[in-house]
């Protein structure tokens, strides 16, 4: 039997978001284990996610359930749980992003190229697509890559750096379409091996290394979906390193997910299961980190497109699951589904954003022309 007080509390919270227990709407929750209610109260958002992974509850349209819960601000109404307290304390006391530089590569990006190749587009781009005129994931990702190239004014013969270069998709696109040469850095062994095996003779190279160890000079620096792993104690050192690597007339483009409020920690469930030591920068934190080092030339928010990107990844993942299930298992299936749909809900509710920020070392003479 459920704890009646816990069940009443959870039922009341859900009702504020027009979500019912065992209702007929596709976003209503169906509870399969009465321990769910106590777990939510004692473990907060971590407990909600783990209970889903364990099969204690379901919803037909999970993304809509989570979206409604976020719009109704349910997370802030939950009691402060030990997981969140530990995340806050750890963020204050330690610099985990520098102490464990390779951890996110090993625990997230190295889990299997078989998974990512089925979920992502043909170029293996694991960041928000640009859907302005595109109707397919492949086209939307190429549109994003081309947008970046145009924003930084790539020209033949330029030498570029991609910090957090993933499976090499941007470098390869830029070399093919714009005639540049380039270097990418990643902390993922699987990404580096894949990128170097698929460069097709182009003048690009991916190095398995910490970006802080890199030396050299580059005409343009790009960082796509990596700044979320940097950590608030390292935002300024990141900008300082980028400044030291960028030639005087160069440009830096930072493509990152961002939060509406400055924080010093991540989400307990996401940190534990998806992105170890991850956290989202705020606009204030990015501005402070770059102050005195760069001129901020352009700021572009297209976070609403990440919802559509994540739903496309989710559709690909579910379609490919019969090929993946023997290797990964059902608990991973539910975890990965929860991850993708939670992130879609966060962007849909506008709780988090996707920014592309263009910086120059000293200001573009005559002004920077914004590109969309």
The β-bridge relationship of strands 246-259 and 352-360 is antiparallel
CA angle 205, 184, 239 (to 5 degrees): 150
Annotation marks residue 149 as catalytic = no
The residues, ordered by sequence, that sit 6+ positions from 305 with a Cβ below 8 Å of its Cβ are 128, 129, 130, 131, 140, 354
- Kindly report the number of other CB atoms within 10 A of residue 6's CB atom: 18
Beta bridge pairs of residue 162: 184, 222
Chain position carrying tokens 């963020």: 91
176, two tokens: 């093919």
Fold topology of 101-360: Rossmann fold (3.40.50)
The residues, ordered by sequence, that sit 6+ positions from 283 with a Cβ below 8 Å of its Cβ are 258, 299, 355
Residue ranges of the chain with per-residue pLDDT less than 50:
none
CA distance 86 to 95: 14
Distance of CA 80 to the CA centre of its chain: 25
Q: How confident is the model over 342-351, as pLDDT tens digits?
A: 999 999 999 9
Q: How confident is the model over 251-292, as pLDDT tens digits?
A: 999 999 999 999 998 999 999 999 999 999 999 999 999 999
Phi, psi of 267 (to 5 degrees): -85, 135
The β-bridge relationship of strands 57-58 and 30-31 is antiparallel
CA distance 339 to 213: 32
CA distance 150 to 155: 9
pLDDT of residue 21: 95
Q: What is the chain's Cα-based Rg?
A: 21
* The dihedral sign for the CA sequence 110, 116, 122, 128: negative
pLDDT of residue 91: 75
Active-site residue among 343, 354, 357, 358?
Answer: 343
Beta bridge pairs of residue 257: 354
- Given a contact cutoff of 8 angstroms between Cβ atoms, the answer to whether 154 and 178 are in contact is yes
Chain position carrying tokens 């989400």: 267
Chain position carrying tokens 């990128």: 195
- Given a contact cutoff of 8 angstroms between Cβ atoms, the answer to whether 95 and 235 are in contact is no
- Kindly state the helix (H) or strand (E) to which residue 298 belongs, with its residue range: strand 295-301
* The dihedral sign for the CA sequence 148, 151, 157, 161: negative
Helices (H) and strands (E) in the chain, counts: 16, 9
pLDDT of residue 277: 92
- Kindly report the number of other CB atoms within 10 A of residue 44's CB atom: 22
- Given a contact cutoff of 8 angstroms between Cβ atoms, the answer to whether 134 and 140 are in contact is yes
Start and end residues for every CATH 3.40.50.150 domain found in the chain:
101-360
């Amino acid at each position: 039997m459920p704890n009646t007080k816990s069940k009443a509390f959870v039922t009341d919270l859900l009702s504020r978001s027009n979500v019912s227990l065992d209702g007929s709407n596709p976003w209503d929750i169906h509870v399969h284990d009465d321990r769910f209610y106590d777990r939510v109260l004692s473990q907060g958002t971590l407990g909600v996610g783990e209970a889903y992974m364990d099969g204690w509850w379901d919803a037909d349209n999970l993304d809509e359930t989570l979206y409604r819960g976020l719009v109704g601000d349910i997370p802030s109404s939950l009691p402060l749980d030990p997981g969140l307290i530990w995340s806050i304390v750890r963020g204050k006391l330690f610099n985990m992003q520098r102490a464990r530089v390779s951890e996110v590569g090993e625990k997230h990006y190295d889990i299997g190229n078989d998974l990512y190749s089925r979920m992502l587009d043909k170029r293996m781009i694991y960041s928000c697509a640009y859907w302005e005129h595109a109707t397919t994931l492949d086209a939307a990702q190429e549109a994003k890559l081309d947008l970046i190239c145009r924003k930084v004014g790539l020209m033949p013969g330029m030498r570029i750096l991609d910090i957090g270069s993933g499976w090499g998709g941007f470098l390869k696109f830029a070399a093919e379409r714009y005639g540049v040469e380039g270097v990418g850095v990643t902390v993922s062994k699987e990404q580096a091996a894949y990128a170097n095996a698929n460069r097709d003779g182009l003048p690009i190279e991916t190095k398995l290394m910490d970006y802080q160890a890199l030396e050299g000079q580059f005409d343009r620096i790009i960082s796509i979906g990596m700044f979320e792993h940097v950590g608030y104690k390292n935002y300024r050192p990141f900008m300082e390193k980028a400044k030291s690597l960028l030639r005087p007339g160069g440009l830096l483009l930072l493509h990152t997910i961002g939060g509406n409020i400055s924080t010093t920690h991540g989400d307990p469930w996401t940190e534990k299961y998806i992105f170890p030591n991850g956290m989202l920068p705020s606009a204030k934190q990015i501005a402070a980190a770059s102050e005195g080092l760069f001129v901020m030339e352009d700021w572009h928010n297209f976070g609403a497109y990440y919802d559509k990107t994540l739903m496309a990844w989710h559709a690909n993942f579910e379609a490919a699951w019969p090929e993946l299930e023997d290797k990964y298992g059902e608990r991973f299936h539910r975890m990965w589904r929860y991850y993708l749909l939670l992130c879609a809900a966060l962007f849909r509710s506008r709780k988090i954003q996707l920014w592309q920020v263009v910086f120059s070392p000293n200001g573009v003479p005559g002004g920077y022309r914004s590109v969309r």
